[in-house]
Structure 1
Amino acid sequence: MAMSTDAVTADPSTSGSEPRWRLIGPGLIVAATGVGAIDLVATLIAGQKYGYALLWAVIVGCIMKVVLVEGAGRYSLASGNTIYEGWSSLGVWTHIYFVPYIVIWGFVYGAAAMAGTGLPLHSLFPVLSVTWWGILSGLIGLVLVWFGRYAVFEKVCAALVALMFVTMVGAALLTVPNLPDMAKGLIPTIPDGALINVLSVAGGVGGTITLAAYGYWLREKGWDTPQFMRVMRLDNRVAYTVTGIFVVSTLIVGAELLYSANIAVSTGDKGLLDLSGVLQDRYGTWAGKVFLVGFWAAAMSSLIGVWNGVSLMFADLVGHLRKLPQDDPERGLGGRWYKAYILWLTFPPMIMMFLGKPVWLILAYGVLGAFFMPFLAITLLWILNSDRVPREWRNHWWSNLLLSLTTLAFVALALNELRKLIVE
């Protein structure tokens, strides 16, 4: 596995050589990559329907993702193996599930990601259609990650995260949040008919397949041994704290702008366009335009995060199946299979943007995707309680409890997604 040229040689969280905030990187990438437009709209609609009643679910969602990402990172650092090698050690059934999933997922996600970036750009600059803005964004993403420069990729992601964070937190502050109602929202309650919204809000806080990419980004950062365990945990906690503030801000905007005025927004990416219009009507054209920039930053950070991280996972998958050594360049950034998956994410999905989405492919994407988070949670429980990691880094009882509760939540979400696919 290729390593970044800026790799460090000791745990920087204890060396005092640089400020701790400068250490944050891989966690922020995995969190920001996972917070896409669909997740924001799910939170926005929760605020629109129930005010602050589901604020506690956002906090729970952050905790669940911290648990999962910490588990993935701990396995990578403690064992020296990638998450795919860990899955492979559990049996051939993991190949049977994950190989078709990553192929189908990449094709469908590529179209969705490009369309997601195209929507705000078209609203800001209508000289091009959503489709063509999306295609241009996909090509820009390809250029940014093609040469495998992790340090550059991390800086671009950090800039996009800063932009989306400032924009959404600014929008929340603009609405003047109702602090007493927010405090009540921290008490766990489930309004009538809101169970699915609770699961969607908690499950959508920052990531799906990109959670499993965390270990790969740790390795590219140069954090590849147990001595980096403390800084990995710091990185993870800070990243999901930032994500939590960002998603809470989205809920505030939904509660203050939409719930109080009884305004509904669309599902899917277009819900954020609707919100831009509401902000523009309430606070002026500038507010709507600034929000669209934040919308684009959220969509673009997800796009380039996937173009980099999931391509790394695919390169590792192929390298492992071909029995290449771990340090073979073909299993890292810039290798042949890494670039092949970037091309797969970028060009074939353009067909879907012009011709529409084949029903059978969307169905396969939905079914396989519904099972990924339970798959990740269950396999981490299995791996982290076995001799695949040294005893000192295995799960304690509290880790098992949190991972088990997280698994149950995602199994419930998966069953609901399957129900929707069958009904629809």
Structure 2
Amino acid sequence: MRPQEKAESRAAQQPEALRDPYEIRPEDRVEPPATLRGALRRIGPGMILAASIVGSGELIATTTLGAEVGYAALWIILLSCFIKPVIQAELGRYTIATGETGLEGFNHFPGPRLRVNWIVWAWAVMVLCTLLQVGAMFGGVAQVLNLLVTAIPVNVWVVFLMILTLAILLGGGYERIERLAMVKVGLFTMLTFLAALLVFRQPQYFSWSALLRGLKPQLPGAGLTTAVAVFGITGVGATELFMYPYWCVEKGYARYAGCRQETEEWKRRAAGWVRVMHVDILASLVIYTVATTAFYVLGAGVLHGMGVVPAANDMIK
């Protein structure tokens, strides 16, 4: 009996309250939707990803790059958004095909091991480094809230935001996170897109010829360092690539496909859920590309047109 089949058998014998949600159970198998409309009703992991992507990094980095070089680096923004989902799709496909998460898959790689594979250790180091970025996000949002409500100090806002984040993460399951992500993505994308549309109506800040020139691959001179940083953090970053398979498991894509079997039925069902995942990735790609491009247009049009490159506290103000 295959390991996954043994896991299914053990899971079926356990009480519902004690079952591991990451175990694949025979009764969880679901046929994939046959239509695009049905697939769109099953998306979700990509929306959570988009909600985590479109944040302070895009708001600060892309607008700064636009302020420095104008529309000349637009192609970098688009390339950064379009190139990374290829890896994202492969990680998700692996999870659907095997039922394993991304880190479990990377743990099978050859190479040095200290209880786990060296890639897993590299991931742990990367996560520790990103804690600095998360701290900066809390601080930035706290400064904005302090400008709105000056009576409450920045440190108090930081503590409040940390408690709120913990309450959201610990107080509910995947469905709650997905619903919150949907709301955030919808509002954020709509507001940034409308702001960019307003720039289109200002000829002193926008022209189609300048926008089209930005699609021509050319390395900006003054803002090259910022451009490299923007390419790294925009779109699906390394952290999001590792997390996406977990969201796919939580959504149920792997469970719906069932444990891996060399049968035509399993191959058909798994391929169907992989197609649903592709729709999910494509939907999130459109959303965060629109939002990120809108941020860049605001920086390239308004800030560059005014000759202003914000830095430090000017970012908040």
The two structures have a TM-score, normalised by structure 2, of: 0.76
2-structure distance, mates of 1:33, 1:223: 20
2-structure distance, mates of 1:251, 1:24: 27
Q: Is the 8 A contact 1:52 1:252 kept in 2?
A: yes
Q: Which residue of 2 aligns with 1:10?
A: 31
1-structure distance, mates of 2:191, 2:163: 25
User: Pick from 140, 143, 160: which aligns with 1:116?
Assistant: 140
Residues 101-250 of structure 1: matches in 2 within 5 Å? Answer: 101-102=126-127, 104-105=128-129, 107-176=131-200, 177-206=206-235, 207-224=237-254, 225=257, 226=270, 227-250=272-295
Q: Is the 8 A contact 2:99 2:249 kept in 1?
A: no
Letter in 1 for 2:299: G
Q: What is the aligned-residue RMSD (CA, Å)?
A: 2.4
1-structure distance, mates of 2:168, 2:105: 29
Q: Which residue of 1 aligns with 2:122?
A: 97
Q: Which residue of 2 aligns with 1:311?
A: none
The two structures have a TM-score, normalised by structure 1, of: 0.58
**Deviations, residues 11-66 of structure 1 (Å, cap 9, x unaligned):** 23x256x5554333111211321333133211111111111111111110011221
**Deviations, residues 342-392 of structure 1 (Å, cap 9, x unaligned):** xxxxxxxxxxxxxxxxxxxxxxxxxxxxxxxxxxxxxxxxxxxxxxxxxxx
Larger Rg: 2
Percent identity at matched positions?
A: 27
Residues 225-304 of structure 1: matches in 2 within 5 Å? Answer: 225=257, 226=270, 227-267=272-312, 270=313, 272-274=315-317
Q: Is the 8 A contact 1:59 1:202 kept in 2?
A: no
Unaligned segments of structure 1, at least 5 residues: 275-424
2-structure distance, mates of 1:75, 1:21: 21
2-structure distance, mates of 1:253, 1:8: 46
Q: Give the superposition deviation at 1:218.
A: 0.6
Q: Is the 8 A contact 1:26 1:214 kept in 2?
A: yes
Q: Which residue of 2 aligns with 1:416?
A: none
Task: Tell me the matched-pair count.
Answer: 267
Does the C-alpha gap of structure 1 residues 26 and 272 become closer, same or farther in structure 2, counting only changes over 3 Å? farther
Residues 340-359 of structure 1: matches in 2 within 5 Å? Answer: none
Letter in 2 for 1:128: I
Does the C-alpha gap of structure 1 residues 8 and 202 become closer, same or farther in structure 2, counting only changes over 3 Å? farther
Q: Give the superposition deviation at 1:180.
A: 2.3
Any idea what SS the aligned residue of 1:54 has? helix
1-structure distance, mates of 2:179, 2:198: 28
1-structure distance, mates of 2:147, 2:138: 15
2-structure distance, mates of 1:152, 1:46: 35
Q: Is the 8 A contact 2:77 2:231 kept in 1?
A: yes
**Deviations, residues 256-291 of structure 1 (Å, cap 9, x unaligned):** 111111112115xx45423xxxxxxxxxxxxxxxxx
2-structure distance, mates of 1:203, 1:98: 16
Matched, 1:74 2:93: yes
Any idea what SS the aligned residue of 2:316 has? helix
2-structure distance, mates of 1:101, 1:200: 16
Q: Give the superposition deviation at 1:120.
A: 2.0
